[in-house]
Homo-oligomer: A and B are copies of this chain.
């Protein structure tokens, strides 16, 4: 007999995502490991049973004081894993939007004091308490949308001390909210004003000073670089990422967002965990990413919110056998907190199927964060992270654009219910 302190039974469908290799590639991305009339049992924060409601009734006994909840007609998926967020920032850029929709370019907006450096100014000025509170509120809303694990990038301070201050918030935010957070050092988000015209000097500050402190203090698990003309060249990115790798950090790359410049190729050469954005990636890039098993983290809301000409070509990535993950890219420029909205864009803009999108936002995203054995699936022994949706089949989650979960559990604790 299995003992449990919480049993959730009577799901119309549980998508466990627990069958098959990690990451899922190509046609295997459609296999959700469904259990009809499903149930899960949870004890001390972990799944101790996953199966049918009938088997749960037979095999699981509630501990004294435990609770059984009937989930009639709803469906469960693993808690979402959001593998790309710029969570830590102050201010907002909603004042730029009217100019953007009327056709103002990025450069015009920057000239008026907008764009990324307005966020850098606001973030530098903000108190640590204000940054913490804003990030906490965002995380709570992300959790209410079903996210139980998130990557969190620094990158809006662009000074040695400022980036470390941002990273120091991540473990505190994880303790406060209960979410699993994975910190990434993105000092190379842009060349800060202090180093204008001297990007090489900034790269050397990152490599010689900040990266070692990040790595030795275990402030981040990954290093990331914005590899793009006008930001960091593939050569500069390679310098930073190679140093990061030698220090034991995993690698992520913002690659081929605006123009094709070699970031995806670099990610493949270095065996990065993830190459992200990839709007301008070529078929050759896709082949290299597939060959090296580098996850393509697609961020389909970003081109929408940037009025960019086209979404990521998700189908091509799946068909090329690239491991595909989905992220929000939560930032002042793409302010989306809800993974269900991201899933809708993955389907209707990037043309993943609903099942592929669910795989990309759970087990594949976890894999890209080095959590393939820990997050993104509903399986015995794993943290009991799941999101419950008011739908009749899990395919409806992307299809019902922006549908919100009725309950979200992290380690068996209900973080949000309505």
Which residues of A pack against B, CB within 8 Å? 30, 92-95, 97-98, 101-102, 137, 141, 144, 301, 304-305, 307, 315, 334-338, 340-341, 344, 347-349, 351-355, 390-393, 395-396, 398-404, 418
Contacts and interface: CB of A to CB of B under 8 A. Distances in A.
Given A141-B404, A401-B301, A101 B352 contact: yes
What copy number does this chain have within its complex?
Answer: 2
B92 A402 contact: no
A102 B315 contact: yes
Given A337-B402, A418-B418, 11 more contacts: A30-B98, A94-B354, A94-B399, A97-B354, A102-B353, A335-B403, A336-B401, A338-B402, A341-B402, A402-B402, A404-B404
Contact of A353 (B98, B344, B399, B418): B98
Contacts of A355: 98
B349 A315 contact: no
A103 B307 CA distance: 24
A397 to B, nearest CB: 9
A344 B101 CA distance: 12
A348 B395 contact: no
A348 B304 CA distance: 6
Contacts of A95: 393, 395
A398 B97 contact: yes
A403 B337 contact: yes
A26 to B, nearest CB: 14
Contacts of A349: 304
A65 to B, nearest CB: 28
Contact of A94 (B137, B393, B418): B393
A326 B337 CA distance: 23
